[in-house]
Amino acid sequence: MKTIIIFAVLSFYLTTFIQAQEIDCDVTIDLEPLTTSEAKDNLSDFVLQLKNYINSHRWTQEDRGNQKIKCAINISFHGSEGEHGYKAQVFIGSQRQIYRADKSTAVVRIMDDKWNFEYIRNQTLTHMETRFDPLLSFIDFYIYLILGYDADTYQTGGGTPYFQKAYEISNIARGSASDAKGWEPSAQGLYSRSQIIDELLNPKFQDFRKAVHIYHFRGLDSLYTEKKLPLRRVFLALDKIGKLREKINQPSIIIRTFFDTKYLEISETFQRSTEPSIYSRISKIDPEHQKSYDEFDLKRR
């Protein structure tokens, strides 16, 4: 019976992994900071065009059925240049369903404040990933990042083909004569597109990607069918990331982004733990969010 149950669970995960690669992206914009009506009017169809571009394109070769990755791109315009040029800050987020739970887990949460591009109302948005385009290369990069992160939660290293796509886009952008702001390497610890994708594909961060899989697939996805073991696996994943942080001994974008995305979920998840010192142990792994862990520790007492 146990073998049958395990097979059924694995079959579900395999099906989910195959199907969960299509994108269902919600795009929102904030035009309030723009000072001219011309700049705002030029963007009258921008949301519709961008949603069609993202959601209508076949990003993978997998047969994914009707299940799609839920994601959001929230764009806050903070300036315009010339007739059609814009500067924007963008939040990129994605989530996926937790197995047998009526809730989702955030997978990607990134704020990128260096997006400069041009847009002309009613222009055609066409996929051309081999050529740098300040508008579309940015979008393509983050869609592949979302796909890669999502795939990694189901299978260790599963996101590599998508991260490789994002890396290729980053390389084209860095080698372009056009404005490559946001694509250039950043100072240590500061966010840039090239920095995050370089880390994700760097072999020295492979333990991070293993931990992402353990945290989601072997941890969160089993919390609602088992009790103690999945919680131990979640902590094992956190501990693996903590040991990696000590080993590399340098600021890491992907590690910081992981804990910025997950700290509230981690805090809530360990409310079911009976280990007295669990929040203290987690705080040593992720000291930046100790205040949250301390607050949740008090709730248990």
What pTM was computed for the model? 0.90
Give me the tens of pLDDT residue by residue for the chain, a chain 301 residues long. Answer: 434 433 334 444 444 443 444 899 999 999 999 999 999 999 999 999 999 999 999 999 876 667 799 999 999 999 998 889 999 999 999 999 999 888 999 999 999 999 999 999 999 999 998 899 999 999 999 999 999 999 999 999 999 999 999 999 999 998 876 666 789 887 777 899 999 999 999 999 999 999 999 999 999 999 988 878 999 999 999 999 999 999 999 999 999 999 999 999 999 999 999 999 999 999 999 999 999 999 999 988 7
Task: Look at residue 206 and tell me if it is in a domain.
Answer: no
Q: Judging by beta carbons within 10 Å of its beta carbon (0-12, 13-18, 19+), is residue 134 exposed, middle or buried?
A: buried
Residue 67: which of 103, 26, 143, 15 has the closest Cα?
15
Among 149, 176, 201, residue at a domain's last position: 201
Q: Are residues 82 and 171 in the same domain?
A: yes
Closest by CA to 177, choosing from 131, 144, 136, 139, is 131
| CA distance readout (Å), 45 to 89, 110, 119, 121 | 19, 25, 10, 7
Q: Name the domain boundary from 175, 201, 227.
A: 201
Q: Are residues 71 and 182 in the same domain?
A: yes
Which of 173, 201, 229 is where one domain is finished?
Answer: 201
What's the token pair of residue 242?
């903590």
CA distance 243 to 223: 24
Query: How many Cβ atoms from other residues are within 10 Å of residue 76's Cβ?
Result: 17
Where would I find the beta strands (DSSP E) of 32-84?
68-81
Host domain of residue 278: 211-300
The DSSP bridge partners found for residue 73 are 27, 92
Query: Is the CB of residue 178 less than 8 Å from the CB of residue 147?
Result: no
Q: Residue 179: its pLDDT value, please? A: 64
Instruction: Tally the domains of the chain.
Output: 2
Q: Number of C-alpha atoms within 13 angstroms, CB side, residue 14?
A: 6
At 133 the pLDDT is 94
Same domain assignment for residues 223 and 117: no
Whole-angstrom Cα distance, residue 30 to residue 32? 6
> Any idea which residue has 């301390």 for tokens?
294
Measured distance CA(164)–CA(33) in Å, rounded: 35
Read off φ and ψ for residue 286, nearest 5 degrees.
Answer: -130, 75
Tokens of 7: 């097979």
**Is 84 a member of any domain?**
yes
Residue 167 in any domain: the answer is: yes
In a domain, 52, yes or no: yes
pLDDT value of position 65: 65
pLDDT for residue 300: 82
Tell me the three state secondary structure of residue 185: coil
Q: According to the model, what pLDDT value does residue 178 have? A: 62
**What is the predicted pLDDT for the residue at 185?**
80
Examine the domain organization and report whether 48 and 171 are in the same domain: yes
**Both 57 and 194 in a single domain?**
yes
Residue 234 pLDDT: 98
Pairing verdict, β 22-30 and 68-81: parallel
Burial annotation 254-289 (CB, 10 A radius, 16+ → b, else e): bbebbbebbbebbbebbeebeeeebbeebbebbeeb
- CB-based burial label for 39 (10 Å; 0-12, 13-18, 19+): buried
